[in-house]
Amino acid sequence: MLKRDCNYEAEVLRAVATAHIDDDLRAHIASCDECAELLSVATAVADDRRTLMREAPIPSSGLMWWRTKMRATEEARRAAVRTATLVQAGLIAVAIIIAVVGVGVTVPAVHIDLKPLLTIPVFAFAAWVILAPVAVYFTVTED
């Protein structure tokens, strides 16, 4: 049964990182199952990492930067289009309300005059006209 802690653990890991084991540590490892196991596992993993890193077929940093920027720009463009579509839909809805109320439509069945409600769509329309370009500006300039 291995014990969980050994005071030499940090030294073993340092030896793996520097690829050098001094005589004292070597003697300890020979008598400590935990450190022997740690040395075996950590060396295998560290060696594997070194080889993998040497073989890594990674793209150049210039190519990676270009791809990243292209994707970021494309995402910003899509977000701007989404915002613009939303603004358009809102404007159309407001225009319809104004058209309906503006021509003096009443609801005969319940005898409601819709003209006093005209102020709400007018304010809504004004708000859209002011806020829509601001929203589009902030979305597009995000990137």
Partner 1 sequence: MNRDMISTMAITALMPETTLPVEREQAKARPARMDEESFRAFYERTARQVWAYLVRLTGDSQLADDLLQEAFFRFYRAGTHYESESHRRNSLFRIATNLARDHGRRQRRGTDVPLPEDLEIATHTSETRTDLAKALARLKPMQREILWLAYAQGSSHVEIAEIVGLSSKSIKSLLFRARRKLAEFLGA
Q: Summarize as ranges the residues that interact with partner 1 (CB under 8 A).
A: 2, 4, 13, 16-17, 37-38, 40-42, 44-49, 51-53, 55-59, 61-62, 64-65, 67-68, 71-72, 75, 143
Burial call 13-41: b when 16+ CB within 10 Å, e when fewer: eebbeeeebeeebeebbeebebbeebbee
Decide whether 64 or 81 has the Cβ nearer to partner 1: 64
Q: Give whichever of 57 and 116 is closer to partner 1, judged by the CB atom.
A: 57
How far, in Å, CA of 9 to CA of 13, rounded? 6
Task: Please report how close the Cβ of residue 51 comes to partner 1 at its closest, in angstroms.
Answer: 6
Task: Compare residues 23 and 55 and give the one whose CB is closer to partner 1.
Answer: 55
CA 69/CA 77 separation, integer angstroms: 12
Pairwise CA distance, residues 86 & 132, whole Å: 9
Q: Name the residue nearer to partner 1 (CB basis): 36 or 98.
A: 36
Residue entry with tokens 């005071």: 7
Q: 22 in helix, strand or coil?
A: coil
The answer to whether the CB of 139 falls within 8 A of the CB of 79 is yes
First to last CA, the chain: 57
- Give least dist CB 89 to partner 1, A: 27
Nearest-approach distance from CB 74 to partner 1, in angstroms:
11
By C-beta, is 21 or 94 nearer to partner 1?
21
CB of 19 to partner 1, least distance (A): 13
Least separation in angstroms between CB 118 and partner 1: 36
